Structure 1
């Protein structure tokens, strides 16, 4: 069972910038690749898009409100300026209506931003599972830590699991089908928006084969999601959360393997014709791949604080809308329920540092529009 499509899992993320170190690490990891792609694009001449201004047009899909949105476009600007110092550039930040747009545009114009007379800044507001820009209008599209979120929130009959990697039976089959459909839609929309010779760089959390796991693969953050499940299950056992609500709660994410990312690009005739594949791979994060906060493991209080902040940063909007608000019992508020949940999560990480570590694999897809 799914909820209406306009209920986005990422709406209203809290403390995003403060808790987005992983997002910033991923963006910075690809800085050199972004520069290389821009250099390979060359100058944007009027004949490329006669109906539009001859400017380099960069779109960052699922940009978010934080510093990572600035860092995603900064290498492209730098690389283009190296060769074409006065050429105009258009930066388009694309995300959902609930994004904190004021915070984002304050950053673009601030000390760490990129504002300049020859750079236009704009926004495309909506879902990247729909077309967001005009046909053939984008030179470089990037998407970081966003495409693993599905097109809408979901609810399944899934007792014992709050995320996709531990699902079984019909719930897993239904969610897998949604994930495949969403990835196809994402690629089809970008195929229309990119101009011939343009590039798409997508990088997000991924998964790798692992026979020891129930479904045959290990997905990024598996320890974190299982810690969330434990804290929520304890609260259900003690009457803090309605068990029926918990048993139908699943985060709306799907972390693809390289094979899952590649399959539609080779099997769908339209996508196969639209794109040349330059890279599809899943690799461990370059820093602390087995535990994103390994450097703090000897300080249990700080270690726990960081993991709780991380869960709040990516997950609070989902948890609040789909678990705390509908599941709070005995007249408690969603806020009170959330406070108790994060207290328990903090205690779990303090008591067992390292047991629920966040392992990270990065999925990267680089495509060239034919």
Structure 2
């Protein structure tokens, strides 16, 4: 997950029932859908070179922790080994590097990495803590960069909203509607700045012809409803209900900004084109529930998924304990307890996942 300077951004640690490790099944579905893109990218990297590569460096940015941390690099390593067999070449030495912010649960990641290294031949591994909005690797050292479900996290919430004391999500619906274009516009500008910076950094670190396969939460360009909603609308709705009932301070709620923005596929194309370091090989738009078991989409499941992803940043701001987060889950479940209410809310706030395969052109 991407960085922030002031807010602590990481998923819930450990393996308990509220941990990200136990509540990341929807993210895993998206990683599975990236498999073919990664396999095709590896095939391309191995076949376009005049000499079969002797070693390859693969990095996953925003790896988080739990069962998903090694999913993408595992696909890449298997694909590299498969290409070696296909071309009857000796096994390529593969270096796998995992990145996330320093607050990530790296203890859990290291345990997984040791087992991974033992099970895969010719693989060396490493961990690189830090923000992917800055430099992480030496120039021209990477062959493939992967990132799943991370790049919608911004480096920080928009300063202009904080400076002008404009709440990201006003409890008063009329004021909220009136200011929506200002709020969403500020978030869009922050995303453009951050994503451009991300592309610039990776262009320096990737070798000539290096590749990236990334996915992030977003929206469809033609989806009008989503133009006027936050990527974190569901979290805001639950917290605003808690603020209205006095469970959390309204003043604190008004100064709460989650650094997330879900761009449209059109926005993403435009930013990549303007930055100029990469060509788009393929872009896919995935519905959030397609390819996953629809039984996963229950009020309880979604409430716990939100808790696993947002609890650290919520607790840091509101200065509360796990008790407040238990109330967050109860409020969410009550909100969606009426038949079809969760589906209606999701329809009003349509989200998709954008997956894109890029090739370095400069």
TM-score tier after normalising by the smaller chain length: 0.7 to 0.9
1:278-328 per-position Cα deviation (integer Å, ceiling 9, x unaligned): 12343324626xxx773256xxxxx23211210112111121112x31xxx
Range that drifts further, 54-63 or 230-239: 230-239
Distance in structure 2 (CA, Å) of the matches to 1:285 and 1:239: 33
1:93-138 per-position Cα deviation (integer Å, ceiling 9, x unaligned): 011101111111212333x776435210001110000011111000
Q: Provide closer, same or farther for how the CA distance between residues 217 and 258 of structure 1 changes in structure 2, counting only shifts above 3 A.
A: farther
Q: Provide closer, same or farther for how the CA distance between residues 153 and 293 of structure 1 changes in structure 2, counting only shifts above 3 A.
A: farther
Q: Structure 2 length as normaliser, TM-score? A: 0.82
In the TM superposition, residue 231 of structure 1 has moved relative to its aligned partner by 2.9
Q: Which of 29, 33, 36 is equivalent to 1:25?
A: 29
Q: Which of 284, 287, 290 is equivalent to 1:284?
A: 287
Distance in structure 1 (CA, Å) of the matches to 2:293 and 2:120: 36
Q: Which of 282, 300, 305 is equivalent to 2:300?
A: 305
Tell whether 2:92 aligns with 1:105.
no
Q: How does 1:171-210 map to 2 (within 5 A)?
A: 171-210=183-222
Q: Provide closer, same or farther for how the CA distance between residues 366 and 114 of structure 1 changes in structure 2, counting only shifts above 3 A.
A: farther
The equivalent residue for 2:87 is none
SS at match of 2:92: coil
The equivalent residue for 1:75 is 75
Distance in structure 1 (CA, Å) of the matches to 2:55 and 2:28: 27
Q: Structure 1 length as normaliser, TM-score? A: 0.80
Tell whether 2:354 aligns with 1:367.
no
Q: Is the 8 A contact 2:307 2:325 kept in 1?
A: no
Q: Provide closer, same or farther for how the CA distance between residues 47 and 130 of structure 1 changes in structure 2, counting only shifts above 3 A.
A: farther
Provide the aligned C-alpha RMSD in A. Answer: 3.1
Q: Provide closer, same or farther for how the CA distance between residues 168 and 217 of structure 1 changes in structure 2, counting only shifts above 3 A.
A: closer
1:247-268 per-position Cα deviation (integer Å, ceiling 9, x unaligned): 222321111111211113222x
The equivalent residue for 2:337 is 350
1:186-235 per-position Cα deviation (integer Å, ceiling 9, x unaligned): 1001100111111011111111135652x746776xxxx44433332232
Distance in structure 2 (CA, Å) of the matches to 1:103 and 1:144: 18
Distance in structure 2 (CA, Å) of the matches to 1:293 and 1:311: 18
Range that drifts further, 255-264 or 170-179: 170-179
The equivalent residue for 1:237 is 244
Q: Is the 8 A contact 1:150 1:179 kept in 2?
A: yes
Distance in structure 2 (CA, Å) of the matches to 1:5 and 1:70: 23
Distance in structure 2 (CA, Å) of the matches to 1:136 and 1:348: 50
Q: Provide closer, same or farther for how the CA distance between residues 28 and 233 of structure 1 changes in structure 2, counting only shifts above 3 A.
A: same
Q: How does 1:307-322 map to 2 (within 5 A)?
A: 307-322=302-317
